[in-house]
Amino acid sequence: MIEICAVGGYTEIGKNMTAVKIDDHVIIIDMGLHVDNYISFTNDEDLIGISPQQLRKAGVIPDDTVIEKWKDKVALITTTHAHLDHIGAIPFVAPRYHAPLLMTPFAAAVVRAIASDEELKLSNPIEIIQPNSSFSVTNDIKVEFISMTHSIPETNMIAIHTKYGIIIYALDFKLDDNPIIGKKPNYKRLEELGKTGNVLALIVESLRAGEAIKTPSEGVAREMLRDVLLGTQSEGKLIVTTTFSSHLARIKSIVEFGKKLNRKIIFLGRSLAKYTAAGEEVGIIKFSDEVKIIKYGNQVKKFLKKINKSNAGEYLLVVTGHQGEPKATLAKMVGEYNFKFAPEDIIIFSCNIIPSPINEENRRKLETKLSAKGLRIFKDIHVSGHAAREDHRDLINLLQPKNIIPAHGEQQMTSAYASLAKEKGYKLGKTLHMLSNGSFLQLK
C-alpha cells in the first residue's frame, strides 16, 4: 500500500516536506524552511545554537513529529532543488533519521554550505545523483530524477517507481525551453511515463496556478535585462543590480551584459558568495575570472568607500537585498554604510516582491530611501520560476496521472490548481486530494 503524509508546505508557502510510505519503506522529499517565519524568528541572523524543537514550535522547520511512527522506516531523504524552502531544514531535521540524503551535486554543495554556516554537523551520508538518472532504494523501489527548469540550477522532478505505480513529485518547476543555464525540461521522459498509464499520483506545486498564462522563459528576463542595462544612458553612473543569489542563470545574464558595458563587476554579500562558490564547485558556472566577490560586511564597507563620483561609471555591482532585507548589502548602502550615491545612479531590481507583509514593508522603506537620493529605479526586471496554469495543463496532459495532490501554496493557490484539475475531469475526494499539514492519504 502507498500512504502519503503532507508534513509541511500544504496550505502555506514554505517548509515543504512530504513523506511517501511504500509498504515498509518511507521516502522523504524536501525538508524546507519557512522563510517568512525564519526572518521573523531570527531577525535575519543565523540559527546557531537554536534547537530543532524551538524552530519547529516557531514554524520555521516542518513539524515532522507527525511521522514519528514511520521514523524507523525512513530509507531515503531526497530533494528536487536547492531552494531554502526545500532544503533549508535538512541540517536540523535529517539527522533524526538513519537514512542517506540523495541530491544533485549543486544541491549537495549548497546543503554542506548551509550546515557549515549554521555550525551543524550533517551526520547523514550524501549520495550524489545526476539529473536524468535513477537510484535504487530497494529491489522494487526506484527513485528517478527527471531534468526540469525553475529558477536555480539542477532542478528535477522526482519519480518514485513502485510496484503500485509511479508517484511524481513536481515542486518546483516551470516549462522553459530557453533556461540560459542547464537543459530544457525532459519532456520526452515525462511523456514516456504518461504513456505507461501507470502514474498513480502527481504531487504538484500550486503557487501560480491561478494565473491563466504560460510562465515566460528565463530568456525573456534576459532580454528585459539587456534592454535596461544596454539601452539606458548610464555613462558615468554607478549601476547596482540585485536579484536572488541562487538564481545563477539570471546572474549569468547580468555578468554578460556588465562585460559588454566594459564595467568591473563586483558581487557584494555573503549569500551571493555562497551560491557562486557552490555553482563553481560543481562546474555549472565560472564567474570568478570575470568578477570580484566580496563576502563579508567589513570588506564590503571598505570596498564601497573606494567608489566615488570620478570612478562610479567603471562599476556594475551585484548586491544582496532584493527584498529590502535590512541586514543585506543594498539596505546597508543607504543605511549604516551611508554610501555616497550620485543622482541618477541606477538601481535594478531583477526580482519580484515575494508577497508578504514583511517584504512589502522592507521594500517600501528601501525604495523610499533610494528615491530620496534621486536614483533611477528599475523594478520587476523579472520573470517567475514557477509554472502557471497553462504549464500545469501541459504537465497533466504529459503525465496523465490517476490522482492529483496540489501542494506548496496557500489555500487560494491550491484551490486554483483544483479548479484546473476539475476542468480536466478529476473528482474532489476521489482523484483530486486536498491535503493540509499533518494529514495522510492512502492510495492503494
**Contact set with Zn ion (CB under 5 A):** 83, 172
For residue 320, the minimal CB distance to Zn ion (Å) is 18
Minimum distance of Zn ion from residue 437's CB (angstroms): 19
Burial category of 261 from C-beta neighbours within 10 Å (exposed 0-12, middle 13-18, buried 19 and up):
middle
Nearer CB in complex with Zn ion: 83/376: 83
Beta-strand pair 155-162/346-350 = unpaired
Cβ-based nearer residue to Zn ion, 16 or 241: 16
What is the distance between the alpha carbons of residues 222 and 253, in angstroms, rounded to a whole number?
6
Closest CA to 434 of 104, 412, 444: 412
Dihedral sign, Cα of residue 279, residue 280, residue 283, residue 284: positive
| Shortest separation between residue 165's beta carbon and Zn ion, angstroms | 26
Considering the complex, what minimum distance in angstroms separates the CB of residue 244 from Zn ion? 10
Closer to Zn ion at the Cβ: 153 or 401?
A: 153
Question: Which residue lies nearer to Zn ion by CB, 172 or 218?
Answer: 172
Shortest separation between residue 247's beta carbon and Zn ion, angstroms: 10
Q: Cell 522547520, residue? A: 61
Residue 313 or 406 having the CB closest to Zn ion: 406
Cβ proximity to Zn ion: between 240 and 387 the closer is: 387
What is the grid cell recorded at 136?
A: 535504487
Count, residues in the chain = 444
252 grid coordinates: 549569468
In the complex, minimum distance from the CB of residue 444 to Zn ion, in angstroms, rounded to a whole number:
29
Nearer to Zn ion (CB atom), residue 83 or residue 252? 83
Confirm if 14 and 31 have CB atoms less than 8 A apart.
no
Of the two residues 320 and 384, which places its CB atom closer to Zn ion in the complex? Answer: 384
Pairwise CA distance, residues 425 & 401, whole Å: 11
CA distance 353 to 365: 13
- Please name which of 20, 130, 112, 31 lies closest in space to residue 75, comparing C-alpha atoms: 20
For Zn ion, the closer of residues 172 and 391 by Cβ is 172
Q: In what order do the strands lie in the sheet with 403-407?
A: 133-138, 141-148, 155-162, 165-170, 199-205, 403-407
DSSP H or E run through 209: none
Compute the distance between CA of residue 58 and CA of residue 40 in angstroms, rounded to an integer. 9
Q: C-beta of 149: minimal distance to Zn ion in Å?
A: 11
Q: How far is the CB of 32 from Zn ion (least distance, A)?
A: 9
Minimum gap (Å) between residue 197 Cβ and Zn ion:
30
Of the pair 144, 172, the CB lying nearest Zn ion is at 172
Q: Give the three cell numbers for residue 175.
A: 516549462
> What's the CA gap between 84 and 350, in Å, rounded?
19
- CA-nearest of 335, 437, 334 to 377 is 334
C-alpha cell at position 211: 494565473
User: What CA–CA distances, in Å, run from 255 to 202, 226, 289, 300, 337?
Assistant: 37, 11, 11, 19, 25
If the CB atoms of residues 108 and 265 are measured against Zn ion, the closer one turns out to be: 108
Kindly report the number of other CB atoms within 10 A of residue 258's CB atom. Answer: 22
CB of 205 to Zn ion, least distance (A): 8
Q: Nearest approach, Cβ of 170 to Zn ion (angstroms)?
A: 11
Amino acid type, 214: K
